[in-house]
């Protein structure tokens, strides 16, 4: 799969549900209206469309949500997709999770072929953690992280930098990840979806400022380490750990984009920050043949734009993209 700018598309991120057991202040409104079940792809349909991407050249699959592990019988899908790891058609099967269900599923994920997980942790303060997630419990997530380590899964911690919320804790998170053997990726707030009373302009903290602050305590050595995602990594000399930065606003990361995103309704977004999309649910449900799905995927890749146009809209205080991150796949 080659896009109009000569980039090989080898990475598919799939939202398997828009539902989540948290309501993080930068991601969702406190009261969310979730999609009717009939609009969601079944687990069998998700397997079929993911397998189509693998057949067309995708080498990495990441399952996301919402929270992927709250979807009923989700391990059926992980087991089905794990067959592509066994045949060598797929290099990596992984997931992004809030960690709330990891203690329950870590061993089974390993058995399905998963070797690493991304877990969202924005603070190590239990009260602040509950405030940010609106309903999460830090101890539950820490238990999940311990289970992931015990199962032999590599862990990457995703932390959203929030001005006035966790900006004074980022040094502590670097130290904690170094002690635990976790990679850490710090992410700028992304202007997607109505999040209720929260103001993204108040939340936004440029990672150029974060990095400058971190360098007061840590020696950050440049690294050519890549995972196939948008993070740019350094090595923290004092801990030996990897630290990544995802900067959709201060530094557009589109020039090397190799990924597309499929929603839980079968809508394919060729760019996280653009509204152009392709409907894959219709060809999936109209024909048992894989040819219409393959054709729809190829046509969509042929429309992939050069990059996104994320901005923080300071005049109107509205998101750059109206859909929630949980729908597109976090």
Predicted pLDDT at 276: 83
Give, to the nearest 10 degrees, the angle between helix 74-87 and helix 43-56: 20
User: Class of the 11-328 domain?
Assistant: alpha beta
Query: Residue for token digits 């002690």?
Result: 179
Q: What is the mean pLDDT of residues 44-48?
A: 97
Predicted pLDDT at 193: 47
Query: Residue for token digits 């992927």?
Result: 68
- Check pLDDT > 70 for residue 201: no
Predicted pLDDT at 47: 98
Predicted pLDDT at 325: 52
Q: What is the mean pLDDT of residues 238-259?
A: 79
Predicted pLDDT at 327: 54
Predicted pLDDT at 250: 47
Q: How many residues belong to the chain? A: 330
Q: What is the mean pLDDT of residues 37-52?
A: 95
* Domain ranges for the chain: 11-328
Is pLDDT larger for residue 322 or for residue 27?
A: 27
Predicted pLDDT at 323: 46
Predicted pLDDT at 320: 47
How many C-beta atoms lie closer than 10 Å to residue 223's C-beta?
14
Confidence grade of residue 289 (pLDDT, cut at 50, 70, 90): very high
- Check pLDDT > 90 for residue 38: no
Predicted pLDDT at 161: 93
Predicted pLDDT at 321: 47
Q: What's the pLDDT tens digit per position in 145-156?
A: 999 999 999 999
Cα–Cα distance measured from residue 144 to residue 184, given in angstroms and rounded to the nearest whole number = 17
- Check pLDDT > 50 for residue 184: yes
- Check pLDDT > 70 for residue 196: no
Question: Measuring CA to CA, which residue among 110, 107, 74 is closest to residue 94?
Answer: 110
DSSP state of 36: P
Q: What's the pLDDT tens digit per position in 81-107?
A: 999 999 999 999 999 999 999 999 999
Confidence grade of residue 258 (pLDDT, cut at 50, 70, 90): confident
Cα–Cα distance measured from residue 101 to residue 168, given in angstroms and rounded to the nearest whole number = 28
Cα–Cα distance measured from residue 282 to residue 119, given in angstroms and rounded to the nearest whole number = 33
Q: What predicted TM-score, i.e. pTM, was given to this entire model?
A: 0.87
- Check pLDDT > 80 for residue 78: yes
């Amino acid at each position: 799969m080659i896009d109009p700018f000569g980039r090989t598309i080898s990475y598919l991120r799939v939202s398997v549900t828009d539902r989540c057991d948290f309501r993080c202040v930068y991601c969702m409104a406190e009261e969310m209206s979730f999609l009717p079940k009939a609009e969601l792809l079944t687990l069998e349909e998700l397997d079929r469309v993911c397998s189509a991407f693998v057949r067309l050249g995708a080498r990495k699959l990441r399952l996301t949500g919402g929270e992927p592990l709250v979807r009923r019988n989700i391990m059926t899908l992980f087991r089905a997709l794990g067959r592509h790891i066994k045949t060598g058609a797929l290099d990596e099967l992984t997931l992004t999770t809030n960690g709330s269900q990891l203690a329950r599923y870590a061993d089974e994920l390993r058995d399905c072929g998963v070797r690493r997980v991304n877990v969202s942790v924005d603070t190590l303060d239990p009260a602040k953690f509950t405030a940010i997630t609106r309903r999460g419990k830090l101890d539950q997530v820490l238990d999940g992280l311990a289970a992931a380590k015990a199962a032999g899964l590599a862990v990457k911690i995703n932390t959203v930098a929030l001005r006035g919320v966790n900006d004074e804790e980022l040094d502590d998170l670097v130290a904690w990840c170094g002690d635990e053997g976790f990679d850490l990726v710090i992410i700028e707030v992304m202007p997607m979806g109505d999040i209720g009373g929260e103001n993204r302009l108040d939340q936004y903290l440029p990672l150029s400022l974060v990095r400058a602050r971190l360098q007061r305590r840590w020696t950050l050595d440049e690294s050519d380490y890549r995972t196939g995602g948008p993070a740019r990594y350094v090595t923290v000399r004092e801990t030996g750990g990897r630290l990544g930065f995802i900067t959709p606003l201060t530094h557009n990361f589109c020039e090397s984009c190799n990924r597309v995103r499929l929603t839980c309704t079968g809508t394919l977004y060729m760019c996280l920050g653009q509204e152009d999309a392709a409907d894959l649910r219709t060809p999936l449900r109209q024909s048992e043949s894989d040819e219409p799905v393959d054709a729809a995927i190829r046509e969509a890749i042929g429309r992939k734009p050069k990059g996104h146009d994320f901005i923080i809209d300071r005049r109107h205080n509205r998101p750059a993209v109206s859909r929630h991150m949980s729908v597109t796949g976090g």
